[in-house]
Structure 1
Amino acid sequence: MSRRGALKLFSAAAAGAALTGCGLSSGSSVPLSVRPGSIKPVPELEGVPLTVGSKDFTEQIVLAYIAEFALVAAGADVRDLSNITGSASARNALVSKQIDVVWEYTGSSWISYNGKTDPIPDAIAQYEAVRKLDIEQNGVTWFAPSLNSDNTYALALNRENADRLGVHTLSDLKRLGQEKPDELSFCLESEFASRNDGMPGVAETYGFAVDPGRVETLNTGTIYTATATGKACNFGEVFTTDGRIQALDLKVLEDDKKFFPRYNLAVTVRVDMLEKYPQLEDVFQPISDRLNNQELLDLNAGVDVDGRDPADVARDWMVKQGFVTL
């Protein structure tokens, strides 16, 4: 399932991230320099060659640079291989030792990489389950979880419509459908509109009907603007850490029955890598502890709304948090 590929792509391809006949290239140097801050040099990581990868959308690219700056401060010899096209390609790059470190989402591995059809609603239980599964079956381990960062699906509407319709949770859509069925109009991606873990499942779980005549199938970027104007639809499919939610002042409906899978962040490496360098946990856990949905919204908005380079956004955040210095 290409759920993550649906997010807005960062338009400039990172150097060295192109696919070739022999696989991924060796990567490029870290684009900006940093010095240690609260992340101090780690003797065991001094000069250790580590390649950081990412998928090909804004949040992943920013997170890759955050990881790179952290590892540089710790003393590693870091290469940048961010912006790998497609979630499966990024995962394969990790397993095949073309990259060593990548931020990952619990839901992506559970559903997309491991083919599980029943997500676990509790974030901790989902993290532990996917970690155990990946260790046993794929030689990949997870650490430094950020359980307050959940980039999952949601439905949103503009503030005017939220006030006018009086909806705050997905459960409110059942009442709205009974009282004002014409107001249940949706802007969705084609995949989300038809998948069981998308709109059909939402409607079944929350007990409302979706009229195909009131569904507009659009691409991701258009959904945000269409939802903000409220002309093509009242409700739009969004991702919960997308910076455009904040920029367009959209109201995200609470998933009060916890239908959508958890997409919590954690760092993934091969099992042998963490066994050899357990110090990586100490480097990354403080970063994960600072990340949450609001921080990710701000980071993503810096790129997608303000038009800044993701490396600059990542470094500024790391400096602000005190993890590195200039």
Structure 2
Amino acid sequence: MKSILMTGCLLLAFIQSSWLQAEEHRIVLGGKNFTEQFLLARITSLILQERGFVVEEELNLSTIEIRQAILDQKIDLYWEYTGTAYSAIHRLSDPEVIADAEKLYTAVKGLDEERGLIWLDKASLNNTYSLVVPAKLAETHRLASISDLGVLAQIDSSLTMGADGVFIRRPDGLRQMLQHYGFSFGPGNIIELQGNRPAYSLLQRGRLQVGMAFATDPQIYAHDLVVLEDDLGFFPVYNPAPVIRREVLERHPELESLLNSLPGFLNDKEMIQLNYAVDIDNKSVDQVAREWLIGKGLISDTQSVSEMPEAG
């Protein structure tokens, strides 16, 4: 009986020790609610798991939700965009800052450090807002920039634009952009969409002439659209970077070098290809993220982890 009790006690101690060790290496990773963020979250999750961390994923969050979650210590880490942090979170709009990637990164890094949030290295990819038009329309009217579009809009009051509600209402969004460029669309010619994806099919069918897009959206290339140059420099730079709670980084200082190994691989071309594989080729987020990491030599090809829900 005594040996049975001793065995039971040892087993309980082992279980408790294993649980404590797992908790010590547990990371709650946040992600926003679109394909690129699903990919960044899964890439991060896989590389963390490769290094022995237990990762819990909290995905499909809006910018407001994910920001509040990290401030409330409900998540430990997520990828944020410099332009989003500066304009939408901190409500700042200095034109000399928003157009300069380094000034913008330094500004948001300093602002968030005061709040216990540490910005690690940023990626060079710039997923900024863009206006897109069908290639045929661009060719017919010689549209290369947003200023060119403004000239056409004053001549042709029938031009119709589609954009999601967030872009229409946010501080660096549509209304402010139109003021910045000094033109407007005709009455009722701005259509609010649920997300930016519907714009692509509507543009293709001729229901819209102008659409809001993100610079790394693969649909731009799949649907033969032209990105208009932001020639007056309205939109901020949107470089993503891992943002982590200070106490988590102090507890696991090795996370800094581990997570900083990712941004150097993430440029516009790489991100467009990753997004294309999910949104156009209909591959799973997990497959795309895993193959990309293996291809870069960042994880082994024998790792076995649970699948993340697919984007879309």
Query: Does residue 70 of structure 1 match 2:47?
Result: yes
Q: Match of 2:258, as an amino acid? A: V
Q: Deviations over 1:42-62 (max 9, x none)?
A: xxxxx7332322122221111
Aligned to 1:79, which of 29, 49, 55? 55
Q: Is 1:131 the equivalent of 2:106?
A: no
1:97 aligns with 2:82: no
Q: Which moved more, 1:190-199 or 1:121-130?
A: 190-199
Residue 121 of structure 2 is aligned to residue 150 of structure 1: no
Partner of 1:58: 35
Contact 1:57 1:83 in 2 (8 A): no
Which of these residues, 230, 241, 257, is aligned with residue 232 of structure 2? 257
- For residues 88 and 191 of structure 1, do their structure 2 counterparts lie closer, same or farther at Cα, with a shift above 3 Å needed? closer
Structure 1 residue identity aligned to 2:278: V
Q: Is the 8 A contact 2:91 2:171 kept in 1?
A: no
Alignment of 1:1-326 (within 5 A): 48-73=25-50, 75-118=51-94, 120-136=98-114, 138-146=115-123, 148-177=124-153, 180-182=155-157, 184-193=159-168, 197-219=172-194, 220-229=196-205, 231-326=206-301
Shift of 1:156: 0.1
Unaligned runs of 5+ in 2: 1-23, 302-312
Matched residue type, 1:129: A
Q: For 1:52, what is the secondary structure of its paired residue? A: strand
Identity percentage of aligned residues: 34
CA RMSD of aligned residues (A): 2.2
SS at the partner of 1:316? helix
Which structure is higher in helix share? 2
- Following superposition, the deviation at residue 81 of structure 1 comes to 1.1
Secondary structure at 2:120 match in 1: strand
In the alignment, residue 150 of structure 1 is paired with which amino acid?
A: N
Report the Cα distance in structure 2 between the residues aligned to 1:234 and 1:88, rounded to whole angstroms: 30
Choose 122-131 or 168-177, whichever is displaced more. 168-177
Cα separation, 1, equivalents of 2:77 and 2:189: 43
Q: Secondary structure at the match of 2:231?
A: coil
Change in 2 beyond 3 A, CA 1:300/1:82: farther
Q: Residues 213 and 87 from structure 1, CA distance in 2 versus in 1: closer, same or farther, beyond 3 angstroms? A: closer
CA distance in 1, matches of 2:191, 2:71: 39
Distance 1:191 1:285 in 2: 30
- Return the alpha-carbon distance in structure 2 between the equivalents of residues 301 and 132 of structure 1: 34
Q: Report the residue type matching 2:257 in the other structure.
A: D
Q: Give the TM-score of the pair, scaled to structure 1.
A: 0.77
On the 8 A contact 2:157/2:185 being kept in 1, the answer is no
Residue 325 of structure 1 aligns to a residue whose secondary structure is coil
Task: State the secondary structure of the residue aligned to 1:171.
Answer: helix
Q: 2:16 maps to what in 1?
A: none
Between the aligned partners of 1:242 and 1:217, the Cα distance in structure 2 is 19
Aligned length: 275
